[in-house]
Chains A and B, each alone.
Chain A
Amino acid sequence: MRRREIVRALVVALASGALTVTPVVAQPDPVEIMERVDRLLRGDSSRGVATMEVVTENWEREITMEMWSLGTEFSLVRVQAPAREAGTATLMAEDNIWNYLPKVERTIKIPSSMMGGSWMGSHFTNDDLVRESQLIEDYDIEIAFAGDRDGDDVWEFRLTPKSEAAVIWGHLEFRVQQLDYMPLWSRFYNEDGELVRTMEYSEFTEFAGRLVPAVMDMQPHDKPGERTTIRYEELEFDLDIDESFFSLQRLQRRR
Chain B
Amino acid sequence: MAESPWSRIGWRNLGRNRKRTVLTALGLAVGFFAVVFIVGWSQGLMVAMVESATSLVSGQIEIHDAEFRPERSLYDTIGGRDGTDVDAMLAALDADPAVVAAAPRVYAGGLVSSGDSTSAGMLMGIDVARELGLTRFLNELRDGALPEAGRNELLVGEEMARQLSVAPGDELVVVASGADGSMANDLYTVSGVFRSGLVELDLTFVVLPMGDLQDLVVLDRGRIHEVAVSTADPWIAEATAERLGGAFPATGRPLEVVPWQELNPAMVEYVALADAMYFVIVILVFSIAIFGVANTMLMATYERRREFAVMLALGATPRSVRSVVLYEGLALGTLSLALGAVLTFPFMIWFHEAPPDLSWAMSDVTLMGALLTPSLRVEYDVPFWCGAAAALFVTALLAALYPSWRASRVPPADTLAGL
* Residue positions of A touching B, CB distance < 8 A: 54, 56-61, 84-85, 88, 99, 101, 103-104, 106, 108-111, 113-114, 118, 120-121
Determine the main DSSP class of B at the interface with A.
strand
Residue of B nearest to A106 (CB): B173
The complex places the Cα of A113 from the Cα of B118 at a distance, in Å, of: 10
A110 contacts which chain B residues (CB < 8 A)?
Answer: 111, 118
The complex places the Cα of A54 from the Cα of B181 at a distance, in Å, of: 9
Contact B183 A58 (CB under 8 A): no
Residue of B nearest to A56 (CB): B181
The complex places the Cα of A16 from the Cα of B83 at a distance, in Å, of: 73
The complex places the Cα of A57 from the Cα of B76 at a distance, in Å, of: 12
Q: List 17 A-B contacts (CB under 8 A).
A: A58-B75, A59-B181, A61-B180, A99-B175, A99-B183, A104-B173, A104-B185, A104-B186, A108-B111, A108-B175, A110-B118, A111-B118, A111-B119, A113-B119, A113-B120, A120-B183, A121-B177
Contact A85 B183 (CB under 8 A): yes
Contact B179 A59 (CB under 8 A): yes
Query: Is B187 located at the chain interface by the 8 A CB criterion?
Result: yes
Contact A109 B182 (CB under 8 A): no
Query: Is B113 located at the chain interface by the 8 A CB criterion?
Result: yes
Within 8 A of A (CB), among B165-209: 173, 175, 177, 179-183, 185-187
Query: Is B116 located at the chain interface by the 8 A CB criterion?
Result: yes
B177 contacts which chain A residues (CB < 8 A)?
Answer: 118, 121
Residue of B nearest to A104 (CB): B187
Contact A101 B173 (CB under 8 A): yes
* Contact of A108 (CB < 8 Å), options: B118, B182, B186: B118
Contact B179 A103 (CB under 8 A): no
Contact B113 A106 (CB under 8 A): yes
Q: How far is the CB of B5 from chain A (nearest CB, A)?
A: 83
The complex places the Cα of A88 from the Cα of B119 at a distance, in Å, of: 20
The complex places the Cα of A58 from the Cα of B217 at a distance, in Å, of: 13
Residue of B nearest to A99 (CB): B175
* Contact of B185 (CB < 8 Å), options: A103, A113, A121: A103
Contact B186 A85 (CB under 8 A): no
Q: How far is the CB of A121 from chain B (nearest CB, A)?
A: 4
Known: A101-B183, A108-B175. 12 other contacts (CB 8 A): A56-B181, A59-B180, A59-B181, A61-B180, A103-B185, A106-B113, A106-B173, A109-B113, A110-B111, A111-B118, A121-B177, A121-B183
Q: How far is the CB of B115 from chain A (nearest CB, A)?
A: 9
Q: How far is the CB of B159 from chain A (nearest CB, A)?
A: 14
Q: How far is the CB of B10 from chain A (nearest CB, A)?
A: 75
The complex places the Cα of A103 from the Cα of B75 at a distance, in Å, of: 24
Contact A111 B183 (CB under 8 A): no
A108 contacts which chain B residues (CB < 8 A)?
Answer: 111, 113, 118, 173, 175
Q: How far is the CB of A10 from chain B (nearest CB, A)?
A: 52
B183 contacts which chain A residues (CB < 8 A)?
Answer: 85, 88, 99, 101, 120-121
The complex places the Cα of A60 from the Cα of B181 at a distance, in Å, of: 7
Residue of B nearest to A114 (CB): B120
The complex places the Cα of A121 from the Cα of B110 at a distance, in Å, of: 12
B181 contacts which chain A residues (CB < 8 A)?
Answer: 54, 56, 58-61, 121
B75 contacts which chain A residues (CB < 8 A)?
Answer: 57-58
Known pairs A104-B173, A111-B119, A111-B120; A121 contacts B182 (CB<8 A): yes
Q: How far is the CB of A110 from chain B (nearest CB, A)?
A: 7
Contact A101 B111 (CB under 8 A): no
